[in-house]
Amino acid sequence: MAETHARRVLAFAQEINKPFPLIASLTALAYSARQLGALAAASHWLEQAFAHCRWPGVTHVNQLAAVYLERGNLAVAEGDWPAARQYFSAALGAAGCIAAETQEAQAGLAMVAWAEQDRATARRLLTAVIEHPATSAAVRQQAQDWLQTVRGR
Protein backbone atom coordinates (compact mmCIF):
# COMPACT_ATOMS: atom_id res chain seq x y z
CA MET A 1 0.00 0.00 0.00
CA ALA A 2 2.83 2.43 0.84
CA GLU A 3 4.48 1.66 -2.49
CA THR A 4 1.21 2.31 -4.36
CA HIS A 5 0.82 5.66 -2.62
CA ALA A 6 4.46 6.61 -3.31
CA ARG A 7 4.04 5.70 -6.99
CA ARG A 8 0.93 7.92 -7.22
CA VAL A 9 2.81 10.80 -5.58
CA LEU A 10 5.72 10.20 -7.95
CA ALA A 11 3.42 10.35 -10.98
CA PHE A 12 1.90 13.61 -9.71
CA ALA A 13 5.35 15.03 -8.91
CA GLN A 14 6.56 14.21 -12.40
CA GLU A 15 3.50 15.91 -13.82
CA ILE A 16 4.04 19.15 -11.88
CA ASN A 17 7.85 18.88 -12.18
CA LYS A 18 8.71 19.97 -8.61
CA PRO A 19 11.71 18.59 -6.67
CA PHE A 20 10.12 18.23 -3.21
CA PRO A 21 7.44 15.65 -4.06
CA LEU A 22 9.80 13.91 -6.50
CA ILE A 23 12.47 13.40 -3.84
CA ALA A 24 9.97 12.45 -1.13
CA SER A 25 8.22 9.85 -3.30
CA LEU A 26 11.48 8.37 -4.61
CA THR A 27 12.80 8.06 -1.06
CA ALA A 28 9.54 6.43 0.04
CA LEU A 29 9.80 3.95 -2.83
CA ALA A 30 13.37 3.15 -1.77
CA TYR A 31 12.22 2.59 1.82
CA SER A 32 9.43 0.27 0.65
CA ALA A 33 11.77 -1.69 -1.61
CA ARG A 34 14.35 -2.06 1.19
CA GLN A 35 11.67 -3.28 3.60
CA LEU A 36 10.66 -5.90 1.03
CA GLY A 37 14.29 -6.99 0.57
CA ALA A 38 14.55 -5.58 -2.95
CA LEU A 39 17.87 -3.86 -2.33
CA ALA A 40 18.72 -3.27 -5.99
CA ALA A 41 15.37 -1.54 -6.52
CA ALA A 42 15.95 0.55 -3.39
CA SER A 43 19.32 1.61 -4.74
CA HIS A 44 17.73 2.53 -8.07
CA TRP A 45 15.12 4.77 -6.40
CA LEU A 46 17.77 6.45 -4.25
CA GLU A 47 19.97 7.21 -7.25
CA GLN A 48 17.01 9.00 -8.80
CA ALA A 49 16.32 10.85 -5.53
CA PHE A 50 19.94 12.02 -5.34
CA ALA A 51 19.74 13.20 -8.96
CA HIS A 52 16.71 15.34 -8.13
CA CYS A 53 18.56 16.83 -5.14
CA ARG A 54 20.77 18.55 -7.70
CA TRP A 55 17.88 20.47 -9.21
CA PRO A 56 18.96 23.41 -11.41
CA GLY A 57 18.64 26.73 -9.60
CA VAL A 58 18.02 25.18 -6.17
CA THR A 59 20.71 26.10 -3.64
CA HIS A 60 19.84 23.37 -1.14
CA VAL A 61 17.22 20.67 -0.73
CA ASN A 62 15.72 20.06 2.68
CA GLN A 63 15.05 16.41 1.87
CA LEU A 64 18.71 15.60 1.30
CA ALA A 65 19.15 14.38 4.87
CA ALA A 66 16.24 11.95 4.43
CA VAL A 67 17.81 10.58 1.23
CA TYR A 68 21.16 10.13 2.99
CA LEU A 69 19.43 8.39 5.92
CA GLU A 70 17.67 5.93 3.64
CA ARG A 71 20.93 5.32 1.76
CA GLY A 72 22.62 4.67 5.10
CA ASN A 73 19.89 2.20 6.03
CA LEU A 74 20.31 0.50 2.67
CA ALA A 75 24.07 0.23 3.28
CA VAL A 76 23.31 -1.41 6.65
CA ALA A 77 20.99 -3.90 4.91
CA GLU A 78 23.81 -4.63 2.46
CA GLY A 79 26.33 -5.03 5.30
CA ASP A 80 28.45 -2.20 3.89
CA TRP A 81 29.50 -0.52 7.15
CA PRO A 82 31.94 2.03 5.65
CA ALA A 83 29.22 3.26 3.28
CA ALA A 84 26.69 3.33 6.12
CA ARG A 85 29.05 5.53 8.16
CA GLN A 86 29.56 7.80 5.15
CA TYR A 87 25.83 8.27 4.49
CA PHE A 88 24.77 8.68 8.13
CA SER A 89 27.55 11.24 8.59
CA ALA A 90 26.48 13.04 5.41
CA ALA A 91 22.92 13.22 6.75
CA LEU A 92 24.22 15.06 9.81
CA GLY A 93 25.83 17.71 7.62
CA ALA A 94 23.02 18.07 5.10
CA ALA A 95 21.33 21.45 4.77
CA GLY A 96 17.86 21.30 6.27
CA CYS A 97 18.61 18.30 8.50
CA ILE A 98 16.01 18.46 11.28
CA ALA A 99 16.55 17.34 14.86
CA ALA A 100 14.69 14.03 14.43
CA GLU A 101 16.82 13.20 11.40
CA THR A 102 19.93 14.03 13.41
CA GLN A 103 18.89 11.50 16.03
CA GLU A 104 18.16 8.86 13.38
CA ALA A 105 21.62 9.46 11.89
CA GLN A 106 23.19 9.11 15.34
CA ALA A 107 21.34 5.83 15.82
CA GLY A 108 22.67 4.68 12.45
CA LEU A 109 26.21 5.59 13.49
CA ALA A 110 25.64 3.56 16.66
CA MET A 111 24.83 0.53 14.49
CA VAL A 112 28.04 1.10 12.57
CA ALA A 113 30.04 1.38 15.82
CA TRP A 114 28.47 -1.85 17.07
CA ALA A 115 29.32 -3.66 13.81
CA GLU A 116 32.89 -2.38 14.08
CA GLN A 117 33.14 -3.73 17.65
CA ASP A 118 33.25 -0.23 19.20
CA ARG A 119 30.80 -1.00 22.01
CA ALA A 120 31.59 2.13 24.06
CA THR A 121 30.74 4.45 21.17
CA ALA A 122 27.59 2.47 20.38
CA ARG A 123 26.43 2.75 24.02
CA ARG A 124 27.21 6.48 24.15
CA LEU A 125 25.36 7.24 20.91
CA LEU A 126 22.36 5.09 21.78
CA THR A 127 22.04 6.66 25.22
CA ALA A 128 22.15 10.14 23.69
CA VAL A 129 19.53 9.21 21.08
CA ILE A 130 17.20 7.78 23.74
CA GLU A 131 17.52 10.86 25.94
CA HIS A 132 17.09 13.47 23.19
CA PRO A 133 13.58 14.99 23.08
CA ALA A 134 13.56 15.22 19.26
CA THR A 135 14.00 11.47 18.79
CA SER A 136 10.96 9.90 17.16
CA ALA A 137 9.16 7.17 19.09
CA ALA A 138 10.17 4.51 16.53
CA VAL A 139 13.87 5.45 16.61
CA ARG A 140 13.79 5.71 20.43
CA GLN A 141 12.29 2.20 20.73
CA GLN A 142 14.83 0.81 18.28
CA ALA A 143 17.67 2.50 20.18
CA GLN A 144 16.38 1.10 23.48
CA ASP A 145 16.26 -2.39 21.99
CA TRP A 146 19.81 -2.05 20.61
CA LEU A 147 21.09 -0.67 23.90
CA GLN A 148 19.76 -3.77 25.67
CA THR A 149 21.73 -5.86 23.18
CA VAL A 150 24.85 -3.73 23.64
CA ARG A 151 24.61 -3.95 27.44
CA GLY A 152 24.13 -7.69 27.24
CA ARG A 153 27.53 -8.18 25.61
Residues 88 and 20 in one domain: yes
Residues 109 and 65 in one domain: no
Residue 151 has pLDDT above 80, yes or no: no
Q: Which domain holds residue 103?
A: 98-153
- 87 and 15 both lie in a single domain: yes
Instruction: Output the pLDDT for position 153.
Output: 60
Give the per-residue pLDDT at 21. Answer: 84
Question: Does 9 share its domain with 68?
Answer: yes
The rounded distance, in Å, linking the Cα atoms of 135 and 41 is: 28
Q: Are residues 65 and 34 in the same domain?
A: yes
Instruction: Quote the pLDDT of residue 59.
Output: 59
Q: How far apart are CA 43 and CA 49, in angstroms?
A: 10
Q: What is the DSSP string of 65-107?
A: HHHHHHHHHHHHHHT-HHHHHHHHHHHHHSTT--HHHHHHHHH
Give dist(CA 7, CA 87) in Å, integer: 25
Q: Are residues 30 and 60 in the same domain?
A: yes
Average pLDDT for 106-114: 96
Amino acid identity, position 35: Q
Q: Are residues 41 and 14 in the same domain?
A: yes
| Domains held by the chain: number | 2
pLDDT of residue 143: 93
- Model confidence band, residue 121 (pLDDT cutoffs 50, 70, 90): very high
Q: Do both 87 and 147 map to the same domain?
A: no
For residues 119 and 53, membership in a common domain is answered with: no
Taking the CB of residue 100, how many other CB atoms lie within 10 A of it? 15
Give the tens place of pLDDT for each residue, 17-60: 878 888 888 999 999 999 999 999 999 999 999 988 876 666 56
Instruction: Judge if 134 and 68 occupy the same domain.
Output: no
Specify whether 62 is located in the same domain as 128: no
- pLDDT for 65-92, tens place per residue? 999 999 999 999 999 999 999 999 999 9
Counting Cα atoms < 13 Å in the Cβ hemisphere of 10 gives 17
Do 80 and 106 lie in a common domain? Answer: no
Backbone torsion region of residue 55, taken as left when φ is above 0, otherwise alpha when ψ lies between -120 and 50, otherwise beta: beta
Last residue of a domain, one of 61, 76, 97: 97
Q: What percent of the chain has pLDDT over 70?
A: 90
